[in-house]
Every structure is written in C-alpha cells, then in structure tokens.
C-alpha cells in the first residue's frame, strides 16, 4: 500500500515564486531599457554638441534649438539665449523665424486644396484670379508657381509693392523671361501668389486658414504667422550682423513666403508627418506626400513642391551646391521629369530659410526614418547649416 504525502500549499507557493521572478525580470528589463535609452540620448547629445557648439562660436550665434527625429523618437537640444536683454535661454518653447521654410507650409496648403478638389495644380492663375486673366501671369500654371518655374520672377517683390492693389498692378505688368517650366528662378512672389490663390480657394485669408485649419490639422501647437500675445515671451529675438536685435518686418507676401514662426519640437512633428511617422487625417497625409513629388531636375537637385530632393546618400558638395547663392540668385535651366517622381525611394529632402536675424534648416530621409531641424537666431551661411546637418545625419544614420 503506497503512502501519499499531500502538500496543499506547494502550488500557490510556486505560483508566487514565479510571479516574483517575472516581476523582478520585468523590473530588470525596464532598468536596462532605461539605461540604454539614457545612453542613447547621451550619444545623440554628444554628437550634436560636437558639431553645433563650434558652429555657434565661429558664427557668433546667440542661441540655437536642434531637433533630431530617429524612428519617430524626438530628441531636442537647446543652446544659448533666445534674447540677450532681457536674458532668456533657449527652451523647448522658443519660437524662431523660419524664413523660406515657411514655403513648405504654403505648398502643403496648396496640396490640401487640391486634395479637397478646390483647385488643381494644373489650373492657371487666371482661373482663380479674374483680374489677371488677360495678362501673361494669368496663363502660368499653379504647378509652376510651386516649383519656381513660372518664367522668371525676382527673388523679392519691389519695395514699392505694399498692398493688394499694388501687387495686382505688378503682376499684370510682369513679363516672363523664359517659358514656364524651362528655368528655375527661386522667388518669393511666385510662392506668395500660390499662397493667396490656395487660401482663397479654401474660402479664407492666408493667415486665417493656416492658423485655424492647416497648423492644427498637422498637429502643430507652437507654429504661427501672427504670434499670439501670450506667446511673445517665447518669441526669440534675431540678431543682425551688427548684433542688433531684429525681427521680420511685415511686407506684402511675407506671410505666404517667409513669415512662419515655430519651435524645434513642432518642426520635428512636421518632419515626422513627412516621413509617414505621425498621425493625421488621410487628407492631410496625402497632401503632405504630394509636396514631395519631384517635377523638375536641375543638376543633382530635383524640385518638388518647394521641397528640394536628392538621391540618398548624397555627397556634401552636391547638397551644398544645391543650397548655394548661385541657385538662389540666378536662374537655372531645368528639365521636366515625365512622369514625375513619387515620394518613395532613397531620397533626402531639405529646405533652408533665412530672415535678417534668423537662419534655419530642415532635412529628412524618409527611408531611414531620420530628420533634423536647426533653428538659430542669427542668419549664418547656408553651407555651414547644410554641412552641420549632413554630419549629424551621417553619424546617426549608421
């Protein structure tokens, strides 16, 4: 006759031991993950510090905000001061003038208007502005406005164009220097006109449609054309070559071409959307992707809707050349890409922006899920910004 020994508490004791062990393992894993994350953050900080701090010293930049997005994780670094007097350090709230990076938002608005059926980039200017129908500008397509290929606008509007009436007179008198789609002439007037038409198609003024509809739809909470009084303390002062505090002056087409103020955090959100990493409505997502389609080629540069794109990896000298004064100030021959190149593939997208007191640069590589934002309250050379960003991306994309 066998003898059995019953241990009624053994099962519960074993279960408790297993639970304790699993909890301990989870806590250990969390500690390891936290340590790895902290080490990763330190590595990124060290890489950015080593590149950005010498640039700030060499070019006497009072303050910078740098943002890096890697696989959807955002890293923000702040340097120096947003204002010397009163003394205010750069923080995650600091607003910088974006200069011509503002144009990427104007292009996004145009793409959204197209997505909603309110206009087509194939439309002519005259289809949307009756007062320009019987003039050469009336025949120009909206696509050409969005790609700097309208036929030869100057970089800036003449100083004597101060209101809509003066703008219409200027546009009616404009005469193309080349056929639309033949030359690339980087210009504020063409993008400004695109902004006016796009906002009108949406039934609002440009500033209203951007601040009430587009920026919120993009998930941007610290991006403005008209900086609210409640955020003025966060608005950095720019510094001129003579170290005088300056901010952008209101002017005709400033809102549409170079008037946006934003934070590094918001700009990373925008880049994440462009890389397919953020959450937005399908219409917004499609509009963002439309801005990346490549329509014209000029040397190594492919011109999308404001965005400029290059096959990745791209040699530093090529991207510096694409952002050179020659590309900004002088007309360049282009070749239309048929059919246009879609947003996929190994590509780097970039845009510079400047005002009298600010210098900005953004770049992203969707296939590598990496983006970078450089915002500074001094206008320093484009080639320096491009080189700094190129070095950071090259280090982090390994």
5, part of any domain: no
The whole-angstrom distance between residue 268's C-alpha and the CA centroid of its chain comes to 8
116, part of any domain: yes
Residue 395 makes CB contacts below 8 A (sequence gap 6+) with: 47
Q: Can you spell out the DSSP letters for 367-382?
A: GGTEEEEEEESB---H
Measured distance CA(339)–CA(311) in Å, rounded: 17
The whole-angstrom distance between residue 55's C-alpha and the CA centroid of its chain comes to 21
Q: Order of strands across the sheet with 73-83?
A: 88-89, 73-83, 63-70, 370-376, 358-365, 347-355, 308-311, 301-303, 294-298, 335-341
User: Comparing C-alpha atoms, which of 320, 388, 361, 378 is closest to residue 59?
Assistant: 378
User: Comparing C-alpha atoms, which of 311, 312, 328, 306 is closest to residue 383?
Assistant: 328
The β-bridge partners of 370 are: 70, 365
Measured distance CA(135)–CA(125) in Å, rounded: 10
The β-bridge partners of 63 are: 80
Domain CATH for 94: 3.40.710.10
Residue 384 makes CB contacts below 8 A (sequence gap 6+) with: 55, 58, 59
pLDDT at 14: 61
The β-bridge partners of 177 are: none
65, part of any domain: yes
> What sign does the CA torsion over 27, 32, 38, 41 have?
negative
159 near 253, Cβ under 8 Å? no
Domain that holds residue 127: 47-396
pTM score, whole prediction:
0.90
7, part of any domain: no
30, part of any domain: no
Measured distance CA(283)–CA(289) in Å, rounded: 10
**Annotation says 222 is catalytic:** no
pLDDT at 6: 45
Measured distance CA(329)–CA(184) in Å, rounded: 10
pLDDT at 23: 54
216-253: b or e for each residue (b if 16 or more CB lie within 10 Å)?
Answer: ebbbbebbbbeeeeeeeebbbbbbeeeeeebbbeebbb
The β-bridge partners of 310 are: 348
Which of 4, 12, 83, 100 is catalytic? The answer is: 100
Which stretches of the chain score pLDDT less than 50?
Answer: 1-8, 10, 25, 28-39
pLDDT at 345: 83
pLDDT at 13: 64
pLDDT at 5: 41
Q: What is the pLDDT of residues 307-351, one digit of tens each?
A: 999 999 999 999 999 999 999 999 999 999 999 999 978 999 999
Indicate the length of the chain as a whole number: 398
4, part of any domain: no
Domain count, the chain: 1
25, part of any domain: no
pLDDT at 11: 60
Four-point Cα dihedral 249, 253, 258, 259, nearest 10: 60
pLDDT at 339: 97
Measured distance CA(270)–CA(290) in Å, rounded: 14
335, part of any domain: yes
């Amino acid at each position: 006759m066998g003898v059995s020994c019953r241990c009624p508490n053994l099962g519960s004791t074993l279960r408790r031991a297993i639970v304790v062990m699993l909890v301990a393992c989870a806590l250990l894993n969390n500690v390891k993950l936290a340590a790895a994350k902290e080490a990763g953050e330190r590595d990124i900080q060290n890489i950015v510090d080593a590149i950005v701090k010498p640039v700030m010293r060499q070019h006497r930049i009072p303050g910078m905000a740098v943002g890096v997005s890697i696989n959807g994780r955002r890293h923000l670094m702040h340097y120096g001061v947003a204002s010397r007097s009163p003394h205010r350090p750069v923080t995650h709230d600091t607003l910088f003038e974006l200069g011509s990076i503002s144009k990427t938002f104007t292009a996004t608005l145009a793409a959204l208007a197209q997505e909603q059926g309110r206009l087509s980039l194939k439309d002519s200017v005259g289809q949307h502005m009756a007062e320009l129908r019987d003039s050469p500008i009336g025949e120009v397509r909206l696509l050409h406005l969005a790609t700097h290929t309208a036929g030869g606008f100057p970089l800036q509007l003449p100083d004597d164009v101060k209101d809509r009436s003066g703008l219409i007179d200027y546009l009616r008198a404009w005469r193309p220097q080349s056929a639309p789609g033949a030359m690339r002439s980087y210009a504020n007037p063409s993008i400004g006109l695109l902004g006016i038409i796009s906002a009108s198609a949406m039934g609002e003024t440009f500033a209203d449609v951007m601040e009430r509809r587009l920026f919120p739809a993009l998930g941007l909470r610290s991006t403005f054309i008209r900086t609210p009084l409640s955020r003025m303390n966060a608005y950095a002062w720019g510094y001129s070559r003579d170290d005088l505090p300056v901010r952008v002056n209101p002017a005709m087409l400033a809102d549409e071409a170079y008037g946006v103020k934003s934070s590094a955090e918001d700009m990373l959100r925008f880049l994440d959307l462009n890389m397919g990493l953020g959450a937005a409505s399908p219409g917004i997502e499609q509009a963002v992707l439309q801005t990346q389609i490549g329509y014209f080629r000029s040397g190594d540069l492919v011109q999308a809707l404001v965005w400029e794109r290059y096959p990745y990896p791209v040699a530093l000298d090529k991207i510096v050349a694409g952002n050179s004064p020659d590309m900004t100030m002088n007309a360049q021959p282009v070749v239309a890409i048929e059919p246009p190149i879609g947003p996929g593939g190994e590509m780097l997208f970039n845009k510079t922006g400047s005002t009298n007191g600010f210098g900005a640069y953004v770049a992203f590589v969707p296939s590598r899920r990496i983006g970078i934002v450089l915002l500074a309250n001094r206008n320093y050379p484009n080639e320096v910004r491009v080189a700094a960003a190129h070095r950071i991306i090259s280090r982090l994309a390994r």
